[in-house]
Amino acid sequence: MRSTERGARPSPVLALLRAGIDTDARRTVTLAAAVATSGALPILIAIANGHLVGLVREGHQDVALGQAVSLTAVALAAMFLCLQLTALVINIMAEDLGRRIGDALRQKMMAAMLRPATVAPLEDRELLDRIAVARSIGTSQVEVHVAVTALANLSVTRLQALACGIVLLWFDPLLGALVTLAYFALTLALAAEYRDQQGAVYTESERVRRSGYIRDLALSGEAAKEIRVFNLADWLERQFASAWRPGVAGARLSPAMLRILAACAAVVAAHTVLFHRLTTAAADGSIGFSGFIAFTTAAAGLVSVIALTMDLVYLREGALAIPAALSVIAELNRHAPPVGGERVAAPLPPVVFENVGFRYPGSSRWALRGLDLEIRPGETLAVVGFNGAGKTTLVKLLCGLQRPTEGRITVGGRDLATLEPAAWQRHFAVVFQHFNRYPVSFAENIAFGAPRQPADREQIEESARAAGAETLAGRLAHGYDTVLSRRYPDGDDLSGGQWQRVAVARALHAVRAGAPCLVLDEPTSALDARAEARFYDEVMERSGASMTLLISHRFATVRHADRIITLDGGRITEDGSHDELMRQEGVYAQMFTLQAKRFHVD
C-alpha cells in the first residue's frame, strides 16, 4: 500500500523543475549549468592534485618540470576558488529562483481561488483537502526557496559522485561501474525509505487539515477565552494527538530496510575489491603515483552521494505543496466563468425561482426543494423560518454564488445561468450572517462596499450615519483611520453589535455606489433590543435600495416588511404581510407571538 501511494505522488524534484521552468526558464537553466559546473570541479581538482603530487615526487631540478609544477599549482588554486565561488553563486541563484517560484504560485493560487463565479468549488471537501496542503506555500516552516536551494545542493553532491564514478571507469570499467551502481543503489534505497517515513506523516491531507485546524485553534488566540472557560485545553491536546499520532505511528521501519542492508553490503564488497585492485596496480607499476592519488580520491568521493543531510528534509517538505497547488489551480481554473454573457441593467426586473431545488455537494439532504418565489422590484421581502430551513441558501442562489441543482431562476424572463456572473453579483449589497471583519481602518471597512470607486470620505461617513455607526468613529483613537484590530499598533476592536453596524454600513455604501438590491442576513442578531427596535427606521427606510431581502429571527424588524414568506423544509409555506400572516394563525403567527411575549411587544 505504501509503495502504491508513493508512486501516485509526484516527485518533489520534478515538481520543482517544472515550477522553475514555468516561472523563469532562463534562470532555471542558468542554475542548472552552475550546478553541473560545480559537480565537475571536485574530480578535476582530484586529477590535478594527483598530477601535482606526481610532479613533486619526481623532483623539480629541471626548469621545465618546475614550470609544470607552478602551472599545475596555479590551476589547482583556481579550481579551488571556483569551487567556493560556485557554491556561493548556486545558493544565491537558488534562493532567488525559489522565491520567484513561491511568489508566482501564491499569485496563481490567489487568482484561481478568486476566479470561480460561484462558491461551489470552495465547498467541495476533496478540493478543500488539497487547498489545505497547497496553502502551506510560503507559510510552512520550509518554504519553496529553501527546497530549491536544497535541490541544488543535492544535485551538486550527486553530480560530484557521478563524476567520481566516471573517473573510476578509466581505471577499470567493470569495477568502476559496479562501485558507482552500488553507491547509487544505496542512495535510492535510503531516499525511498525516507519518502515512506515522511509520506506516512505528511501526505494524508484530511488528517493534516484537521490537525492543522486544532493547532491553529490553540495557537491563534481567537478561541482563548472559551478554551479557558470551558477547560478545553486537555481536549485540544488529545484531539491533536489523535489526529497526528496515526501518521507518526505509520513512520516506522519498512521491508525496505532489507534492501538498504543489501546495498550496504554491496558497497562494502565493491569498495574492498576496488582498493585492493588500486594498491596492487600501484605496486606492480600498472598506474603511476599520480594516478593512484586521483583514483583513490575519486573512490573516496563516492561516499558523499549517501550523505543524509537536512537537504533531503527541506526538499521533500518544501516541495510538498507544489503539486497540490498546481492541482488546485487547474481545478479552479476549470470553474472560471465563461467570457461574455448577458447583463441586466438597473432597475432590476422581477426575479423568479421556478421549482428550484438545491443540495450541497456530498449531501443527500435537500436544502431547498420545489421552491417557487417571485421577488418584486420596489418591495422589502422578509424571509423567516426555523434554523436549517434554507434561508441563507436562498441568498446564495439569488446572488449567483450557487447554481440550482434543479429548476431555474429567471431575471425578467431570462435564465440567471445565461447572465454574466460578475456583472449580476455587482447588483447586490449583502450583509451575510457570518460577515468578514477586515483588519484595516474603520473607513476602509466601509469603503470595501464599493472598491471600484474612489474612497470618498464624505460618502463613507454618510454610509456610516445611515447604518447608525457614525458614533463609533468618535470613540476610536484615530476616528475613521483607526485600524480595527488590536494586533496592529494603535489598533482597536469593536463589539459584535458594533461590527454588525460596520458591516451594514459597508452594504449601504455599495447601495449608494449603484447596487440596487440590499440583502441582510440576520442584520440585528448582535444588536440589543433598543438598537433592534430602531433598526428598521434608521436603516431599512434610509437604505435607498430598490429591492430589499431581509432574513431574520427577530420579528421586531421583520414585521415592517412589505411582504413576509415562511420557509419550512426547503419550501414556502406562508406568503403575505405581517397582518395577513397573523390572521392565518400559522407558523409565522406562532413564532411572532412567542417572541412578542418574551419582549412584551404588541
The residues near 147 (Cβ < 8 Å, ≥ 6 apart) are 12, 16, 98, 314, 315, 317, 318, 319
Same domain? 468 vs 484: yes
d(C-alpha 123, C-alpha 361), whole Å: 8
d(C-alpha 168, C-alpha 180), whole Å: 9
Same domain? 560 vs 449: no
Out of 500, 515, 530, a domain closes at: 515
Q: Is the pLDDT of residue 407 over 90?
A: yes
Out of 464, 498, 515, a domain closes at: 515
d(C-alpha 452, C-alpha 466), whole Å: 21
Confirm if 317 and 136 have CB atoms less than 8 A apart: no
Does some domain include residue 145?
yes
Residue 507 pLDDT: 92
Q: Is the pLDDT of residue 351 over 90?
A: yes
Instruction: Specify the CATH number for the domain of residue 278.
Output: 1.20.1560.10
Same domain? 597 vs 549: yes
Strand partners, 385: 567
- The mean per-residue pLDDT over the stretch 310-335 comes to 77
The whole-angstrom distance between residue 454's C-alpha and the CA centroid of its chain comes to 31
d(C-alpha 117, C-alpha 339), whole Å: 12
Instruction: Specify the CATH number for the domain of residue 560.
Output: 3.40.50.300
**pLDDT tens per residue, range 24-37:** 999 999 999 999 88
Does some domain include residue 239?
no
The whole-angstrom distance between residue 195's C-alpha and the CA centroid of its chain comes to 22
DSSP letter for 485, please. -
Residue 118 pLDDT: 84
DSSP letter for 489, please. T
Closest by CA position to 150, among listed 86, 80, 85, 90: 90
Confirm if 142 and 317 have CB atoms less than 8 A apart: yes
Confirm if 488 and 476 have CB atoms less than 8 A apart: no
SS3 at position 575: strand
At 393, which amino acid appears? T
Q: What value does the mean pLDDT of the chain take?
A: 80
Same domain? 300 vs 447: no
Predicted confidence band of residue 502 (pLDDT cuts 50, 70, 90): very high
Same domain? 73 vs 190: yes
Same domain? 532 vs 508: no
Does some domain include residue 286?
yes
- The mean per-residue pLDDT over the stretch 61-76 comes to 70
Question: And the C-alpha cell for 430?
Answer: 449583502
Does some domain include residue 12?
no
Residue 186 exposure: Cα atoms within 13 Å on the Cβ side: 24
Same domain? 69 vs 131: yes
The three-point CA angle 437-443-446 to 5° equals: 55
Predicted confidence band of residue 251 (pLDDT cuts 50, 70, 90): very low
β-strands 406-411, 351-358 pairing: antiparallel
Q: Is the pLDDT of residue 201 over 60?
A: no
d(C-alpha 105, C-alpha 19), whole Å: 8
What is the total count of domains within the chain?
3
Question: And the C-alpha cell for 368?
Answer: 431547498
The residues near 304 (Cβ < 8 Å, ≥ 6 apart) are 157, 160, 161
Does some domain include residue 468?
yes
The whole-angstrom distance between residue 29's C-alpha and the CA centroid of its chain comes to 28
Residue 106 pLDDT: 85
Same domain? 566 vs 442: no
d(C-alpha 139, C-alpha 131), whole Å: 13
Does some domain include residue 418?
yes
**pLDDT tens per residue, range 124-138:** 777 877 777 777 664
Residue 165 pLDDT: 83
Q: Please tell me the least confidently modeled range out of 253-262, 365-374, 392-401, 539-548.
A: 253-262
d(C-alpha 445, C-alpha 502), whole Å: 7
Question: And the C-alpha cell for 478?
Answer: 484615530
Q: Is the pLDDT of residue 3 over 50?
A: no
- The mean per-residue pLDDT over the stretch 148-157 comes to 86
Q: Is the pLDDT of residue 506 over 60?
A: yes
Place of cell 481554473: 333
Residue 267 pLDDT: 79
Residue 287 pLDDT: 82
Out of 461, 493, 515, a domain closes at: 515
Same domain? 83 vs 199: yes
Q: Is the pLDDT of residue 249 over 60?
A: no
Predicted confidence band of residue 354 (pLDDT cuts 50, 70, 90): very high
Q: Which domain holds residue 484?
A: 436-515
Residue 142 pLDDT: 59
Can you give 502-568 as a three-state secondary structure string? HHHHHHHHHHHCCCCEEEEECCCCCCCHHHHHHHHHHCHHHCCCCEEEEECCCHHHHCCCCEEEEEE
pTM over cut 0.95: no
Same domain? 459 vs 595: no
SS3 at position 464: helix
Between 169 and 442, the higher pLDDT residue:
442
d(C-alpha 32, C-alpha 22), whole Å: 15
Q: Is the pLDDT of residue 8 over 60?
A: no
Does some domain include residue 234?
no
Same domain? 364 vs 505: no
d(C-alpha 5, C-alpha 205), whole Å: 13
Does some domain include residue 159?
yes
Predicted confidence band of residue 308 (pLDDT cuts 50, 70, 90): low
Same domain? 297 vs 164: yes
The whole-angstrom distance between residue 559's C-alpha and the CA centroid of its chain comes to 44
